[in-house]
Structure 1
Amino acid sequence: MERYDLLYRLYEEFDTETLREYQFFVDLFPPVDSRVALEHWEEASDELDQRKTAIREAFPAGTTFAEIAAYANREIAFTSLDLLNRYGRAVNALVLDVDETLRSAGGTDNEIPRETLYLLTEFHERGVPIVICTGQTLENVKGFMIQGLGNELVHSGTLSIVYEAGNGVFTPGHGSRTKQLLYEDLGDEIRSVFESVRTRVLSEAPEAVRRGCHLQGNEFNVTLKPNFETGSSDAETVIDRGLVHLLDLLGAAVVDVRSERDGADDVDPEIGGQWARTHYGHLDPEISEVLEAAGEMSDRDVEAIPDHVRELFELIDVGYYHADAAEISSLELNKVEGITAALDVLGIDDPFVLVMGDSKSDLRMMRWAEANGTGLSAAPEHASRDVLSHVMDTDGLTFKAGQSAEMLRTIYVLNLLARLE
């Protein structure tokens, strides 16, 4: 019988909704030091086992179908089967952004939900490595991952942390390869550009930007964040102004570094800023829209930018996140480089990953997965416009804020179904 027919039968003949409620209770509310609570948990566990046994006895490969019923509703199960039919293989690693993906300031009080953490431990138990990709520092990420998943899992040798958006990779349990500092391979010119921008970004900012923003990032990621509620009109205004300021600083730093290298006469910093506005406005429609709305779009021809300046621009990314952030980062240090380094340490030679993220830095991971046939992508519904566009154009895997567990359930069931091959 076709697997689709078996799934139809499963959800028609059995009360899978009640079964999932029992599974949820048993998984997430283990018995505490109370006799009454223990008795209640044991009763639920017995009832869960009876319901699963009925499914096990009714189906070939009944154990797998019992697990599917326990973790997925009808929609998730059929989505999982569609994905398996499309790609023909199981996911062998999870690549996960944290902020506004696994957790959401608006939906989960900025905590990774208990259900999400539990499902990650289930993937771990089934031998699926986890790669956490984030712009945060290693110390922050390591701390809350140990708190959420436990010290044993984090140090199991099957979890890797790509931190500071690709500055480094931390994979405990791998000897000399445990910590890789990817920034050590960057050239002196890139270092000089970022040093120049970082030291000047607030001190030389227009007053509205200086008062309305604070600085985040690291040596190779300079990010302006608003001192207002993300998404508000005040945040939009100050980030738009901050973007123009960053472009001007970047252009000035690039022409200064290249002029020094070539022994050429100094170029007017204002011209460097114009070149930066032209180059990045040409690359990114959102940046172009901001510049046009502010009356700051350069009228210079993109083809007129000197090659030696364009070459350095092409190693540096400018990111704009509406009413949230404006940043510059090194394209040689990004999440894709971090992922490939992490997968190499984890020994995954033929990756097929789930990429979950919400921002443009995550979009690079998604495009890498699609271009190389190495995975599929999912995003929260509030993700950036470009991320949502990519996800909807590929597999349409979206989830509501704070509901990352739903997507993990989809992949968990995909992997269960793949065992039936």
Structure 2
Amino acid sequence: MERHDLLYRLYDEFDAETLREHQSFVDLFPPVDSRVALEHWEEASEELDRLKREIRESLPGGATYAEIAAHADREAAFTALDLHARYDRAVNALVLDVDETLRSAGGTDNEIPRETLHVLTELHDAGIPIVICTGQTLENVKGFMIQGLGNELVHSGRFSIVYEAGNGVFTPGHGSRTKRLLYDDLDESVRGTFDAVRSRALPDAPENVRRGCHLQGNEFNVTLKPNFETGGADAEAVIDDGLVHLIDLLGEVVVDRVADGLDADGVDPGDRGAAWARAHYAAADPEIREVIEAADVDDPAETGAVPEPVASLFDRIDVGYYRADAAEISSLELDKVAGVEAALDVLDVRDPFLMVMGDSKSDLRVMEWVAERGMGVSAAPEHATADVLSHVLDRDELVFARGQSAAMLRTVYVLNLLARLE
């Protein structure tokens, strides 16, 4: 009997919904010191065993189909079946963004839901390495991942953190390769630019930016975060001003570093750095252009007017804008792709077939890299950026609701169960 026929039987002939509810209750039941609660858990466990036994005894490969019913609803199961038919591969590593992907401020109080953490644990126990790929600092991410997943899992040797969007990789349990500082490999022209911008980012900022923002504690990237609630009007206003300030400052620093290579034309290049930076980054990103135009800055420049030595260094440095959340400069030579490659190397993931989950432009680069090489599939929350959603919808249509990352992880779980069937 074909697998799709067996899945139809599974969800038509058996009470898969009740089975899944019992499995969820048994898995997520909180530890409480109550005899009545414990008896309730034992009753649910017994009923769960009975429901699974019915499936095991009725279907070919029944043990696997019982696990499918226990972990996924009909939609997730058939999505997994479609993925298996298309790729005939099991996922052998997860690459996961955190903010607005695993967790979402809009519906989960900005915490990773317990259900998501549990499914991650199950996938890890099944032998799938986990790569957390985020723009956040290492210490912040390591802290809440240990809190959510446990110290043993994080230090298992099959867990890695790509932090600051690819500037470093932390993979506990791998000796001298545990922490790799990828930014150390950049040449001095880039590293010196970042050092100079970081040292001046707040001291040289307009008063509202200096008072309304703080520098995130990054090892390399320079990131302005608001001292207001993320997503609010105050945060949006100060981050917009902070973005313009960072771009202007970057222009000044870059011009200062390449001044010897600029031709004198009667105008002090130092007075043109900010305008050249605005022109360059406005042309590269329509959201940034919108913020710069709204700021009504003086003395705009044309992109073609940017001298080659200046444009060449700009081309190695990215400016990121996250509305009402952050303004950031980062290295284009060290993006999440570079970090993921390094993490997979340390984890010894050969012939990777990845599930990539993310919501932003930095995640899109990983998704495109995976798609170009036929190395996996990508998923995104429904509130992801337009470019991310377009990519995901064009590929496999793996879009999930806000705060529901566990649903997509369950699809991966089922895909791998199907791949095990003869």
Class of the TM-score when normalised by the shorter of the 2 chains: over 0.9
**What is the alpha-carbon distance in structure 1 between the residues aligned to residue 8 and residue 347 of structure 2?**
38
Q: After superposition, what is the alpha-carbon deviation per residue over 1:125-161, rounded to whole angstroms, capped at 9, x for unaligned?
A: 1110001122233222222222222222111111111
**What is the alpha-carbon distance in structure 2 between the residues aligned to residue 357 and residue 94 of structure 1?**
11
Is the counterpart of residue 338 in structure 1 residue 339 in structure 2? Answer: yes
Compared with structure 1, are the counterparts of its residues 217 and 394 closer, same or farther at alpha carbon in structure 2 (3 Å cutoff)? farther
**What is the alpha-carbon distance in structure 2 between the residues aligned to residue 16 and residue 25 of structure 1?**
14
Compared with structure 1, are the counterparts of its residues 415 and 255 closer, same or farther at alpha carbon in structure 2 (3 Å cutoff)? same
**What is the alpha-carbon distance in structure 1 between the residues aligned to residue 185 and residue 310 of structure 2?**
21
Greater alpha carbon shift after TM alignment, 149-158 vs 136-145: 136-145
Is the counterpart of residue 40 in structure 1 residue 47 in structure 2? Answer: no
* Contact 1:164/1:217 (8 A) holds in 2: no
1:123 maps to 123
Is the counterpart of residue 61 in structure 1 residue 58 in structure 2? Answer: no
Equivalent position SS for 1:166: coil
Q: After superposition, what is the alpha-carbon deviation per residue over 1:312-371, rounded to whole angstroms, capped at 9, x for unaligned?
A: 111111111122221111122222111111100111121111111222222222222122
2:280 maps to 279
Compared with structure 1, are the counterparts of its residues 21 and 297 closer, same or farther at alpha carbon in structure 2 (3 Å cutoff)? farther
Greater alpha carbon shift after TM alignment, 211-220 vs 403-412: 211-220
Is the counterpart of residue 290 in structure 1 residue 291 in structure 2? Answer: yes
* Contact 1:277/1:297 (8 A) holds in 2: no
Q: Which amino acid aligns with 2:411?
A: T
Compared with structure 1, are the counterparts of its residues 98 and 297 closer, same or farther at alpha carbon in structure 2 (3 Å cutoff)? farther
Which runs of structure 2 are paired with 1:81-96 in the superposition (5 Å)?
Answer: 81-96=81-96
How far 1:302 moved relative to its partner? Answer: 2.4
Which runs of structure 2 are paired with 1:193-212 in the superposition (5 Å)?
Answer: 193-212=193-212
* Structure 1 portions without partners, runs of 5+: none
Compared with structure 1, are the counterparts of its residues 225 and 335 closer, same or farther at alpha carbon in structure 2 (3 Å cutoff)? same
How far 1:263 moved relative to its partner? Answer: 8.4
**What is the alpha-carbon distance in structure 1 between the residues aligned to residue 79 and residue 357 of structure 2?**
17
Q: How many residues in Structure 1 have an aligned counterpart in Structure 2?
A: 420
* Contact 2:169/2:343 (8 A) holds in 1: yes
1:159 maps to 159
**What is the alpha-carbon distance in structure 2 between the residues aligned to residue 416 and residue 276 of structure 1?**
51
Q: After superposition, what is the alpha-carbon deviation per residue over 1:70-100, rounded to whole angstroms, capped at 9, x for unaligned?
A: 1111111111112222222111101111222
* Contact 2:131/2:162 (8 A) holds in 1: yes
**What is the alpha-carbon distance in structure 1 between the residues aligned to residue 259 and residue 214 of structure 2?**
31
Equivalent position SS for 2:47: helix
**What is the alpha-carbon distance in structure 2 between the residues aligned to residue 298 and residue 343 of structure 1?**
47
Is the counterpart of residue 102 in structure 1 residue 108 in structure 2? Answer: no
Which runs of structure 2 are paired with 1:223-302 in the superposition (5 Å)?
Answer: 223-260=223-260, 262=261, 267-296=268-297, 300-302=301-303
Q: Which amino acid aligns with 1:396?
A: E
**What is the alpha-carbon distance in structure 1 between the residues aligned to residue 242 and residue 249 of structure 2?**
11
* Contact 1:321/1:384 (8 A) holds in 2: no
Is the counterpart of residue 360 in structure 1 residue 354 in structure 2? Answer: no
Compared with structure 1, are the counterparts of its residues 219 and 42 closer, same or farther at alpha carbon in structure 2 (3 Å cutoff)? closer
**What is the alpha-carbon distance in structure 2 between the residues aligned to residue 246 and residue 182 of structure 1?**
23
**What is the alpha-carbon distance in structure 2 between the residues aligned to residue 296 and residue 370 of structure 1?**
40
* Contact 1:80/1:411 (8 A) holds in 2: yes
**What is the alpha-carbon distance in structure 2 between the residues aligned to residue 242 and residue 87 of structure 1?**
45
1:328 maps to 329
Q: Following TM superposition, where does structure 1 have runs of at least 4 consecutive aligned residues deviating by more than 3 angstroms?
A: 30-35, 262-267, 293-301
**What is the alpha-carbon distance in structure 1 between the residues aligned to residue 88 and residue 278 of structure 2?**
44
1:80 maps to 80
* Contact 2:167/2:335 (8 A) holds in 1: yes
TM-score, reference length from structure 2: 0.93
1:183 maps to 183
Q: Which amino acid aligns with 2:390?
A: S
Equivalent position SS for 2:258: helix
Compared with structure 1, are the counterparts of its residues 295 and 25 closer, same or farther at alpha carbon in structure 2 (3 Å cutoff)? same
Is the counterpart of residue 213 in structure 1 residue 213 in structure 2? Answer: yes
1:13 maps to 13
Q: Which amino acid aligns with 2:168?
A: G
Greater alpha carbon shift after TM alignment, 16-25 vs 409-418: 409-418
Equivalent position SS for 1:218: coil
Equivalent position SS for 2:402: coil
TM-score, reference length from structure 1: 0.93
* Contact 1:22/1:44 (8 A) holds in 2: yes
* Contact 1:277/1:298 (8 A) holds in 2: no
* Contact 2:259/2:269 (8 A) holds in 1: no
CA RMSD for the aligned pairs? 2.1
**What is the alpha-carbon distance in structure 1 between the residues aligned to residue 174 and residue 215 of structure 2?**
34
Q: Which amino acid aligns with 1:284?
A: D
Equivalent position SS for 1:18: helix
Is the counterpart of residue 172 in structure 1 residue 179 in structure 2? Answer: no
How far 1:264 moved relative to its partner? Answer: 6.8
Compared with structure 1, are the counterparts of its residues 295 and 54 closer, same or farther at alpha carbon in structure 2 (3 Å cutoff)? same
**What is the alpha-carbon distance in structure 1 between the residues aligned to residue 114 and residue 330 of structure 2?**
33
Q: Which amino acid aligns with 2:13?
A: E
Q: Which amino acid aligns with 1:393?
A: D
Greater alpha carbon shift after TM alignment, 339-348 vs 145-154: 145-154
Compared with structure 1, are the counterparts of its residues 138 and 226 closer, same or farther at alpha carbon in structure 2 (3 Å cutoff)? closer
Equivalent position SS for 2:202: coil
Equivalent position SS for 2:301: coil
Q: After superposition, what is the alpha-carbon deviation per residue over 1:154-173, rounded to whole angstroms, capped at 9, x for unaligned?
A: 11111111122222211122
Equivalent position SS for 1:89: coil
Which runs of structure 2 are paired with 1:346-385 in the superposition (5 Å)?
Answer: 346-385=347-386
Compared with structure 1, are the counterparts of its residues 48 and 257 closer, same or farther at alpha carbon in structure 2 (3 Å cutoff)? same
* Contact 1:183/1:333 (8 A) holds in 2: yes
Compared with structure 1, are the counterparts of its residues 388 and 176 closer, same or farther at alpha carbon in structure 2 (3 Å cutoff)? same
How far 1:30 moved relative to its partner? Answer: 6.1
Q: Which amino acid aligns with 2:162?
A: V
**What is the alpha-carbon distance in structure 2 between the residues aligned to residue 289 and residue 121 of structure 1?**
42
Greater alpha carbon shift after TM alignment, 308-317 vs 26-35: 26-35
**What is the alpha-carbon distance in structure 2 between the residues aligned to residue 220 and residue 31 of structure 1?**
41
Q: Which amino acid aligns with 1:395?
A: D
